[in-house]
Structure 1
């Protein structure tokens, strides 16, 4: 019972893996990107634990829970209940904040209800989600939305020319016809020529029946002005249509602080209660560092029992490098790394033990200085009697492991086997990609000398106060500093409106499981045309979203049966065997491959298969150049990690030579093994050699050694950061005494700092 025993794991690319994982220890899983680490830890161990736990509930409860298919594994024994701490961003809306999601705001509400003067309410009413406490004007949101009429209307056009500048209000769309068929307007008259009365009728009329309505007008319909209709459909209703047209809605709708509560979310009665001059909303606007200082000055005997645990909760946020956040920060604005760390502290004080905690790359978004605290938290979770499994590339986290499992040797079909099990020192001596990377000695490159600069002047935002810096052109610049020091704010604000700037971030590509690598790179059309020419079948048959879809599963590859209050039953389609296509399409092959067989090829195998087709191979080669050669051509975009998404986006700019652009990458090494980072370094140098500027917001020390220039922000986070500590060639940073980056870079280069 001292080990978790896994036999015959074949999920995804795993090659019949058998292993034992020690309980009550910290085990780190390493290996090249795409080697199969996640397939083993998340898709096999975590999925089976969740599935078995769900089966203990009633059918009604199971119906409400996330459904997990049984992973492809023969046996898993001695498996504890799992707690998965992923990089998935915390969801929610503007009503969900750091304070509410961490449950710290509950203690804050209790404090203000007991100590705030004058006494105005009990703690529940200090919630901006409580109708009694919220500001009536903004309903506790802190902002109001309004429609920018000048964005919604094109005054130089008539209704017949799509003057209502929104997709669903065109003259051919049913919403647009409610105006062109109303008989109230000259449909060819430019809006700029409308009388005041005509414009009022078009925009602001409340729903009313039309007298003597034209023949085309629906008999039961009411006429309604554009503004109330738009507000009802896209502001009040937060459903499918708003999500579908979100970019257009964001263009038309403007947010502004609530004119009554000025963004504080609560009503005047609740805000009148103060402690040392601050109302509860003022407190949630303090950084965590400032909040602790504030609590240290609250001297009230009856508050001591509230303040002590509250202070401990706030200190936990500081310990994981989030002291720069505020309790009022909305959770949708948090990065994946920030979200993950907040999830971590929610488990820190949990009385539950004998669990298996499964953590996905806790180093993401963290400076080496912050990783020391993360290691302490992970060890403390282990020391409470839990088993901790971590998927990680960062050497500092690998080093703290009790046990290490390396998976490889390569990626995709070239991975999926266990190449090493043992201690850190044994891994260092091993003949594995991870062992080679950890043994490598590092040195600074011979830096390019810049000849021209982009000047960023007087930037004041978040914790930046009047910061100016010159960014060199046609070189690689790494922007460094601890999490929350102001790196992203400096670059994103400074380049926001600059021409020829390309931001390549890790935000997911908007896609469903019907979108794949080929649809995103726009070569699926070419491949379908190729199969059509070679087989004589029409092109649309080679799309599983069109005529080629299997009639049984409609191109999904699986059949889902809803069983009332029991869990949905999902099975592979027996007609197409999960390939998504009609039998006659699967029977049409080129060189022995059907279209479904091609979708199973890796990018590297696809290059070989399509070697005679330049348009296709150029795109596939650009994907392979970013290190994604292991991905299959049919891989759904919704399964890509943040780092993989970023590299797919980058690949589009490698097909044809681009020049005179500024490329900005936000932590491009996310999810990358140290051996794969050099692939990116090669690409960045290629972009510079082609006449571009490359700027990296980055924590990775290997990437810093590849930079021509370093801009270091800090020295710490939040109010203790936001200063420019250094800008220049990397070697000069090592002399900056207050720089945490300099400390860690010196250690990495095995140099002694004076």
Structure 2
């Protein structure tokens, strides 16, 4: 009773957000309380309804109400979204979401531009930077009109002054055309040699005598009289002259050149001049500042012969040129290129039917660089002459003409990125890279690791004490934002790192850090698993950052499974008890202390009441004799990796760990994975730098299960990705009704004409594209979101039509197709990895990163293995509850017991504790990382002094 009265008082004081009867997705009329200005964690097993409550209900309604209160004009620029299925939410505030699967900025966006830090650096460089000559490095000067006026004041009275504008034109004009142009500007005299000549006195009868002579346009003439110098007239004439033809003006005193003037900056040695600096000069996203060679990217894509012909053992006829002969032997215009190759071989004396490696390099030269004379080919019954410019020129043209990211990515496979020779990776024009602040240009600062940049700024603090307060405020703002990034655990990144190259976790942490310095209060921040990709040490930094946001008067709501995060929370909501239809209930809400008394699944695992992956099993598997078979990598020097040798045991679960930025992804993804794909599948991707790799003969298949989304389309879903949908369509096509109507399996595809709804083309939704707005999706009014037309929906398999099957959750579908082992066994694997709650037809863009990864894992596990498969998983516990992790680990253990090998990149302490072998990189991130700080069995790790060892000892 006391607790109820307390809650009522808090509601009246508007200190509690009250959610009543939330019914989004699988939520079953959830009533929840969230304390305002507190740190709340929403947890529960995968599919229990966490995101439905946090994002689809709380955030969606907070955002919708905020938009509804905007002016009519502002509403045109944003889309409020539909009202969530919830009876009431009281004491709600505007909400901001920081989710894992949010759209990334464009390819030119960097950590510095996205966080807003580069805006402040540009202002500082504009005001306080020192411009140097890009030719001789001398400090540039700026002459003002005031200086010239002051110089003229020193002259004697009666002195003749002439102000001229030197002639300059990019166009080849005759003398008559030049003079007519000067006259059209309203000027009557020019200075020709030492004489001033009226235009009317010039004769053009013999232009040859005038050719090559330089002249200056007389803009103003005056004598210094008894009265004061006409300052305004002189300044006006100087500016007019400098803006006429050559961007400069001259002042002649009694026939001699006394002063020169031009707007902007100039080198006193006469080797360089430029306009005055402006903010856009320091932006690689502006035409003004960007390096013209690389368009501000800092890199140039150049065709790579090894990628164009990755397998020289093939002949040209067999498709050695992969750009012309696509994967799996599928031809794509190859017949046309085959004719060119045959004509080229005939001219240069080589056969298209012998392996490329046996053709002399001289004879192949024209294949890459082209022919000067046309080739004759017979194409479609007609003889044609083709000027063949070479594969490299064709690919470069295709790259330049690519009008979208997908087309460009397709061509990029055959290129390597090299540092731009013009700006040397600085992205800006040379003259703007020559502007320095404390001997650093803006690009050099952006290339420093953020943690090092903070130290550098602290060292320069005394030097900015003389700056105006505005400049010091900018400095403070940058320092504050940089510290926020360090606290978020991404201090190893640099400001010029592109957002497209960041992991989902890194990008989310940058968004979180950006919120710390925005000055907002009274806002609800809803975050999706911010600890993804973070080591335990870095997780604590992130928790401290979230608490700072809370302490500014904001409400922080986090969807999370991390033990540290839950222990730090002020309030916990636990959803369950199961997933999908078995979830959607609030099984607990309260403090961590109150949770200790509960019997929910989360409480049992959190307080070690029910965790089969625990301290008692530290070395159960590690004590087994390690395999004699290994993969050995020698002298790894990719990115920050320090040239070490590494032995990886096969037939075991090997976990790579280490703090963020220590080099795990560089080693496993860039070196190991790409080397395996190159050796086993002749992949075009080149591995990171290393001397050699041994032991690949011990495996015959590699399955790389990463965090890359399945797709951003509603046409991709678990059924299509796993291949199950092909089998389901075959079953529908074999029904009596379908055979009578001659419906084939393709008729039941929503990607092809036939049984799909043509109004929405099988999407089930209509997409409205509105200027400035995110695409608005509405349910198709013709098929009501079912994707198919009436004829297709009339066909039933065991009483269910095709749309109903796609709407089944995987757990139900497993029972429905239990009589079909080819389908049922695959669905069983999906259930075992904790995906039984998903719909077969769940749109890929609605899946979390963890769900997408487990779909890939289930698809790989469904393939037959002969015991020599290597599975490489990047953070497989992402988005998983303790109970789900236990299920996943048991599957991985089964794989190794069959002779397969598992390599994990993981931070989860229980997974590390129960691995057979652990390899930790460090000791820190970035330049201070890249070393092997531990390798061995988990029980030995507990004796070490690494960051992971400390975390294991503390839990």
TM-score (norm 1): 0.88
CA drift of 1:699 comes to 0.8
Conserved 8 A contact 2:636-2:643: yes
Distance 2:382 2:523 in 1: 66
Q: Does 2:669 correspond to 1:669?
A: no
CA drift of 1:359 comes to 0.7
CA drift of 1:636 comes to 1.6
Conserved 8 A contact 1:159-1:171: no
Q: What corresponds to 2:228 in structure 1?
A: none
Higher alpha-carbon deviation: 263-272 or 523-532:
263-272
Distance 2:340 2:31 in 1: 76
- CA gap 1:117/1:75 in 2 versus in 1, 3 angstroms: same
Runs of 5+ consecutive residues of structure 1 not aligned to the other structure: 749-754
Q: How do 1:271-670 residues align onto structure 2 when only pairs under 5 Å count?
A: 271-298=433-460, 299-300=462-463, 301-302=465-466, 305=472, 306-440=474-608, 442-443=614-615, 444-446=618-620, 447=622, 448-452=624-628, 453-495=630-672, 496-498=674-676, 499=696, 500=699, 501-510=702-711, 512-537=713-738, 538=743, 539-546=745-752, 547-560=754-767, 571-655=778-862, 656-670=864-878
CA drift of 1:411 comes to 0.5
Q: Does 2:53 correspond to 1:40?
A: yes
Q: How do 1:178-327 residues align onto structure 2 when only pairs under 5 Å count?
A: 188-191=342-345, 193=347, 230-239=395-404, 242=407, 246=409, 248-298=410-460, 299-300=462-463, 301-302=465-466, 305=472, 306-327=474-495
Conserved 8 A contact 2:96-2:526: yes
Conserved 8 A contact 1:458-1:466: yes
Distance 2:308 2:82 in 1: 46
- CA gap 1:198/1:337 in 2 versus in 1, 3 angstroms: closer
- CA gap 1:432/1:348 in 2 versus in 1, 3 angstroms: same
- CA gap 1:463/1:251 in 2 versus in 1, 3 angstroms: closer
Conserved 8 A contact 1:455-1:468: yes
CA drift of 1:604 comes to 1.7
Instruction: Encode CA deviations 1:388-416: one digit per residue, 9 max, x unaligned.
Output: 11100011111122221111110111111
Tell me the secondary structure at the aligned position of residue 26 of structure 2.
coil
Distance 2:669 2:774 in 1: 45
- CA gap 1:60/1:556 in 2 versus in 1, 3 angstroms: farther
Tell me the C-alpha RMSD between the 2 structures.
3.6
Tell me the secondary structure at the aligned position of residue 675 of structure 2.
coil
Tell me the secondary structure at the aligned position of residue 291 of structure 2.
coil
Instruction: Give the number of equivalent residue pairs.
Output: 733
Conserved 8 A contact 1:160-1:187: no
Q: What corresponds to 1:751 in structure 2?
A: none
Q: What corresponds to 2:207 in structure 1?
A: none
Instruction: Encode CA deviations 1:618-645: one digit per residue, 9 max, x unaligned.
Output: 2111212211122111112222211112
Instruction: Encode CA deviations 1:635-685: one digit per residue, 9 max, x unaligned.
Output: 122222111121111112322234223222111110000111011111111
Q: Does 2:328 correspond to 1:166?
A: no
CA drift of 1:542 comes to 2.4
Tell me the secondary structure at the aligned position of residue 99 of structure 1.
helix
Higher alpha-carbon deviation: 132-141 or 145-154:
145-154
- CA gap 1:146/1:679 in 2 versus in 1, 3 angstroms: same
CA drift of 1:608 comes to 0.8
TM-score (norm 2): 0.70
CA drift of 1:93 comes to 4.4
Q: Does 2:954 correspond to 1:734?
A: no
Distance 2:778 2:101 in 1: 27
Alignment equivalent of 1:3, drawn from 7, 10, 16: 16
Distance 2:827 2:485 in 1: 43
Instruction: Encode CA deviations 1:118-155: one digit per residue, 9 max, x unaligned.
Output: 46645442222233332221121111123347765899
Conserved 8 A contact 1:535-1:589: no
Distance 2:436 2:405 in 1: 42
Tell me the secondary structure at the aligned position of residue 274 of structure 1.
strand
- CA gap 1:263/1:161 in 2 versus in 1, 3 angstroms: closer
Higher alpha-carbon deviation: 626-635 or 5-14:
5-14
- CA gap 1:622/1:117 in 2 versus in 1, 3 angstroms: same
Conserved 8 A contact 2:280-2:288: no
- CA gap 1:564/1:679 in 2 versus in 1, 3 angstroms: closer
Report the structure number with the largest CA radius of gyration. 2
Tell me the secondary structure at the aligned position of residue 399 of structure 1.
helix
Distance 1:151 1:368 in 2: 40
Distance 1:171 1:320 in 2: 47
Conserved 8 A contact 2:576-2:587: yes
Q: What corresponds to 1:129 in structure 2?
A: 285
Conserved 8 A contact 1:81-1:355: yes
Distance 2:925 2:769 in 1: 50
Distance 2:82 2:348 in 1: 61
Distance 1:200 1:55 in 2: 65
